[in-house]
Amino acid sequence: MLRTIEQHVREQVAPAALRSEFRQHEFENSRRFCQLIFCVSITIWLVFDLIVSYLGGQGFTWLSGAFMATMCCLTVILGFTRKSHHFDVLNLLFVAVITLGMRLLIEGIPIALRPLWLVLGTSTVLYSVSVLPVRRWSFFCAMAITWAMLNPFFSTNINLDDLEAAMLLSYAVFLSGLVIYSYLRIRQAKLYNFYMSKVLLDQAYVDVLTEIPNRRSFMAKAERQLQDAPAGQYLAMIDIDNFKKVNDRFGHDIGDEVLKRVAVHIKASMGGYEFARLGGEEFVIFFKGLDQAGAERQVTALCTRVREDISEHPVTISIGLAQVDSADTLTMALVKADQALYEAKHSGKDRFVLWTSRLADSA
């Protein structure tokens, strides 16, 4: 079963809505990590700035303070950022500021050492960006900004026909290729895992045959609605009349088609309410915000809809309808609806019966 689902996921292309949900989910789960990356980057930059400023004899200028203040402000803004696409832009601003700051610092060290430190700075920034939850356009923009700001051939004594230039170009190509490959593979693996978890969750809460919610899903959602306790709650339990005879006479394949057809009618007419297949030929609907007349109209219309469905194997349904009182649990409401359903089945079928205390006494 798991292998089949995994194969299905691998063959599918994640829809745009799922990709957007994935990006937002990843950012929300990685916000603290992003803040950590920003803080570590600021710390490394500050240490390097202090080394160059004092050991290099440059002094700690107001420009260094301005860069520090800007990066700290961006880190604080990150703490209030809630949308992943906002982080894409914020990360680009941070990369632009820190790489410009690196460039200005490296300009203050001996020219022979600049290419080495520029490449080290580029490697650090690109690695940091590759592990952050940013979209492709933001990642490639950050890569372009980094190489533009920390270009090891600008303001150095390297000529393009030198051996050192050839080595730097080879390393730049290798580094860029490695970072791009790692970023894309990590994103693909994360998206696959997210997609897989969504499919498994759907499998756990959706009835495979009828493709409507199953008992587990209904119990969880209806329980939450019951706790809210709004006025006008009704529970309807539905059973397909003579379903066993359909299975015995025409086979289980036809029985499955009947189940699917009834589920389609429920889904089409009860879209505003919680509904599910409880198991076998039984379905359930949880109405909220209706008075008795409204709930009765809904179940009457459903009975009529199923009855008038012209097909090769027509069926009818019986429905037990019960009002959910404020003191009722979901289990108690299901028992009431089941008692009303029993009465509907034994009083002619193809109808609904509203639960009364008389039915409880006769049960």
Q: Cα–Cα distance between 178 and 191 in angstroms, integer?
A: 20
> Quick check: 335 and 359 in contact, CB under 8 A?
no
- Of 208, 207, 188, 206, the residue nearest 196 (C-alpha): 188
Structure tokens at 280: 């076998």
Q: Cα–Cα distance between 49 and 297 in angstroms, integer?
A: 76
Give strand pairing partners of 322.
235
Q: Cα–Cα distance between 289 and 300 in angstroms, integer?
A: 17
Main-chain phi, psi angles of 236, to 5 degrees: -115, 125
What are the C-alpha distances in Å from 340 to residues 29, 293, 355?
48, 17, 5
Q: Cα–Cα distance between 130 and 176 in angstroms, integer?
A: 11
Active-site annotation holder among 281, 296, 312, 343: 281
Ranges of beta strands (E only) in the chain are: 234-240, 274-279, 282-287, 317-323, 352-354
> Quick check: 284 and 337 in contact, CB under 8 A?
yes
Q: What is the number of alpha carbons within 13 Å of residue 338 lying toward its C-beta?
A: 9
Q: Is 281 noted as a catalytic residue in this protein?
A: yes
Main-chain phi, psi angles of 211, to 5 degrees: 60, 30
As annotated, the active-site residues are 281
